[in-house]
């Protein structure tokens, strides 16, 4: 998808004059395949012996969860486009059918690797540490008796086997639920014999059951729920012969659709649509590796899927349920060392966040530095008699949120509290609906943003009366107001009382809650109006500096880089001589190192303990640096279909802080992956006998407190 304007940049015009077409498909990596490669890098963390063992298992689970979402959203969307007969292509010019075929081939490779990693690498290593998954064939007699008792007491009462015959058609299967297809012989009490039945495992049941101490050799021995059902399935079909019992799981389209122009109440419409997510169109079928072809084919037909949608797996069909082992095993030596997020000395010494922000800006880098000052900012605002109003955007906060607690306190205290909640935050819709209702009950004004544009910006505006004037205090972030992810994701947060930024924030909130034309902003860049054009202009300026013989450099750190015109602008800047470093965690459609096009561009991805989530845009600008942090990635949706902000870091000490962080990422030889011209990645390696350098470890050392 091209940008709305479609005009050529000066750099593109120069490239065209030199006979190089920057639009040629060979210069672009397919975005969906690039996302699969990101998941391959995540999976490789599970194979890294330098990682603590339980963290390796965690990365395996994350790779499984990522792949689930990839099918639920990406593959589902491509299938819809293909079935509608669309021939629309991305910049790489592949048709939906070609992309689906390539996805199937690569995804099958990744799934096979996931189970090899589990069975051949992690399971033996965990067993050496006394953490064992006991297979049916290895159960002792005592364990068999315990399993039988557990089945009769805890499972049998809640299982409902469903025979398949004309009066009992194939049941509706929940998205990603655990099920079994059972092959039978014989007749039941009514003389029926269809030969098949389905057993559905209720979601409330744990997928891993810890064996009690009296039948275990160690503290951490587990059996899979699927193993117990397999062992006792005969009890569900009295008097019949069970010939086989095989796990299966179906993944469905989980992208919610609400025609916002046709609904009167977005919240009510979203509540209704959430129910349909469980039964969307099937996009993938996983079955046990030993499932007979006939039964697998039967299931494919029931779900209207093709052979390329079938994934036969040697182990549990839902690997991410192994996260229960990671979270429930108290073995600190097998996990990452603990740490206490740091609190900047200026904040620790100050009794009032408002007094501190009148004197200086504060920049926090989570999770190395604590999220607590952000929560305290809102708590102080909620209780401060001089605070008149609080305005905030919420995209993801989690079900139990100290941020929301503070807003409720403020609203009940009679302050004007306005909250823009994005109900369409994917997979957080249900939590956000509950938060919206809670805030409304407390008396807050709750709105749901702008029709057709997700509100993805992370903003808080506090209006305080001081000496007969009103002063604005602001928090702007690259990540969500979610205390849990603030311990797992790297994000920046800026707190300031800069009058120009405060005035800009006031205008943006007016846009979100009211009606009116676009207002000119002083310092902030905003999607879908000025962020894209502003960044493009800074790229072009840097190219012009290089063309005029000045040293020129761009550093961009984002989650995804896919927007075609933005990529062409970077290609053109590279051709002009700009040195460009891109730190792109996930999708990257730009090809570095292409002769005559991107020889001056380097791309790296950082995959480590923390999910890299900061978005940073740096331009050297002839010694007068321009540095913006943002909630936006370099994607069409962020630039043109969302409300996003880009906020400048103007104070030299804070600029230097961010530059030091970027240089650490660019030095990384422990967590970094380097992208090649063909779109593949290889691990970065230290020079000669040098010790590997980890950017995240260095940031922990510099910013966090000792555990």
- Catalogue the E-assigned strands of 342-457: 362-366, 387-394, 416-421, 445-447, 454-455
Would you state the structure tokens that stand for residue 686, as one six-digit string?
């230290």
Nearest to 631 by CA among 565, 559, 567, 562: 559
Please list the active-site residues. Answer: 456
Give every CB contact of residue 175 below 8 A, 6+ residues apart in sequence. Answer: 72, 250, 251, 252, 254, 277, 278, 279, 280
Q: Please check whether residue 471 is in contact with residue 498, taking contact to mean a CB–CB distance below 8 angstroms.
A: no
Residues with Cβ < 8 Å from 386, sequence gap 6 or more?
464, 465, 466
- In what order do the strands lie in the sheet containing 208-210? 131-133, 220-224, 208-210
- Three-state SS for 443-463 is CCEEECCECCEEECCEEEEEE
Beta strands in 211-361 (DSSP E): 220-224, 241-252, 282-288, 310-313
DSSP code at position 309: G
Going by C-alpha positions, the residue among 441, 448, 432, 534 that lies closest to residue 480 is: 432
Question: What string of DSSP letters covers 580-635?
Answer: EEEEESS-B-B-TT-TTTTTTEEEEEE-SSSEE---EEEE-GGGS-EEEEES--BS
Distance of alpha carbon 399 from its chain centroid, rounded?
17
- Which of 510, 527, 705 has its CA nearest to residue 628? 527
C-alpha distances out from residue 533 to 110, 529, 569, 698, Å? 38, 8, 11, 35
DSSP state of 368: T
Q: Are 643 and 457 in contact (CB under 8 A)?
A: yes
CB-facing half-sphere around the CA of 147: CA atoms within 13 A: 27
d(CA 604, CA 311): 31
Instruction: Record the tokens describing residue 198, joined without a space.
Output: 């389905």
- Angle of helix 96-116 versus helix 76-83 axis, rounded to 10: 150
- Which H or E element spans position 464? strand 458-466
Instruction: Give dist(CA 507, CA 520) in Å, integer.
Output: 9
């Amino acid at each position: 998808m091209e940008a709305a304007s479609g005009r050529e940049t000066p750099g593109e015009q120069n490239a065209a004059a030199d006979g190089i077409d920057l639009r040629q498909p060979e210069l672009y990596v397919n975005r969906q395949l690039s996302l699969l490669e990101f998941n391959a890098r995540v999976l490789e963390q599970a194979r890294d012996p330098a990682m603590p063992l339980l963290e390796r298992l965690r990365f395996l689970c994350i790779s499984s969860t990522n792949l689930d979402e990839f099918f639920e959203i990406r593959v589902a969307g491509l299938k819809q486009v293909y079935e509608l007969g669309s021939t629309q292509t991305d910049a790489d010019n592949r048709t939906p059918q070609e992309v689906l075929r390539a996805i199937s081939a690569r995804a099958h490779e990744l799934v096979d690797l996931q189970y090899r990693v589990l069975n051949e690498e992690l399971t033996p290593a965990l067993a050496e540490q006394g953490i064992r998954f006991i297979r049916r064939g290895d159960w002792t007699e005592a364990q068999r008796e315990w399993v039988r008792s557990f089945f009769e007491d805890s499972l049998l009462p809640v299982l409902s086997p469903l025979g398949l015959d004309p009066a009992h058609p194939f049941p509706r299967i929940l998205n990603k639920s655990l099920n079994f297809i059972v092959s039978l012989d014989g007749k039941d009490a009514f003389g029926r014999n269809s030969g098949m039945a389905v057993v559905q495992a209720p979601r409330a049941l744990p997928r891993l059951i810890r064996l009690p101490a009296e039948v275990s050799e160690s503290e951490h021995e587990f059996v899979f729920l699927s193993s117990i059902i397999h062992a006792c399935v005969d009890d569900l079909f009295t008097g019949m012969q069970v010939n086989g019992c095989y796990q299966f799981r179906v993944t469905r389209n989980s992208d919610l659709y609400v025609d916002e122009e046709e609904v009167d109440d977005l919240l009510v419409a979203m509540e209704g649509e959430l129910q349909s997510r469980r039964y969307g169109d099937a996009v993938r079928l996983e079955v046990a590796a030993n499932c007979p072809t006939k039964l697998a084919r039967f299931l494919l037909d029931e779900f209207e899927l093709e052979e390329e949608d079938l994934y036969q797996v040697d182990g549990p069909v839902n690997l991410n349920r192994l996260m229960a082992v990671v979270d429930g095993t108290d073995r600190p030596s097998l996990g990452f060392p603990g740490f206490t997020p740091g609190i900047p000395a200026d904040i620790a010494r100050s009794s009032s966040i408002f007094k501190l922000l009148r004197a200086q800006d504060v920049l926090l880098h989570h999770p190395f530095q604590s999220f607590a000052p952000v929560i305290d900012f809102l708590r102080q605002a909620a209780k401060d008699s001089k605070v008149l109003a609080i305005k905030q955007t919420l995209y993801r906060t989690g079900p139990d949120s100290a941020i929301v607690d503070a807003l409720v306190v403020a609203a009940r205290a009679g302050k004007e509290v306005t909250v823009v909640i994005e109900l369409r935050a994917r997979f957080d819709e249900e939590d956000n609906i509950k938060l919206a209702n809670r805030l409304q009950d407390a008396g807050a004004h709750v709105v749901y943003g702008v029709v057709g544009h997700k509100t993805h910006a992370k903003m808080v505006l506090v209006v305080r009366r001081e000496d007969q004037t009103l002063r604005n205090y602001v928090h702007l972030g690259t990540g969500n107001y979610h205390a849990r992810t603030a311990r797992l994701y790297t994000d920046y947060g800026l707190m300031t009382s800069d009058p120009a930024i405060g005035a800009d924030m006031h205008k943006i909130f007016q846009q979100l809650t009211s009606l009116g034309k676009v207002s000119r902003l002083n310092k902030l860049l905003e999607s879908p109006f000025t962020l894209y054009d502003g960044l493009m202009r800074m790229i072009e300026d840097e190219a012009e500096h290089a063309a005029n013989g000045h040293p020129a450099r761009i550093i961009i750190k984002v989650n995804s880089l896919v927007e075609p015109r933005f990529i062409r602008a970077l290609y053109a800047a590279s051709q002009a001589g700009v040195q460009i470093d891109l730190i792109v965690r996930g999708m990257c459609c730009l090809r570095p190192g292409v002769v005559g096009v991107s020889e001056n561009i380097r791309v790296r991805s950082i995959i480590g303990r923390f999910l890299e989530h900061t978005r940073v845009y740096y331009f050297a600008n002839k010694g007068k640096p321009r540095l913006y942090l943002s909630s936006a990635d370099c994607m069409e949706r962020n630039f043109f279909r969302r409300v996003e902000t880009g906020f400048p870091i103007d104070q030299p000490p804070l600029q230097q802080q961010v530059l030091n962080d970027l240089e650490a990422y660019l030095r990384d030889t422990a967590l970094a992956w380097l992208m090649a011209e063909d779109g593949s990645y290889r691990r970065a390696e230290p020079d000669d006998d040098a010790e590997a350098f980890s950017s995240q470890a260095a940031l922990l050392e510099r910013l966090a407190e000792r555990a």
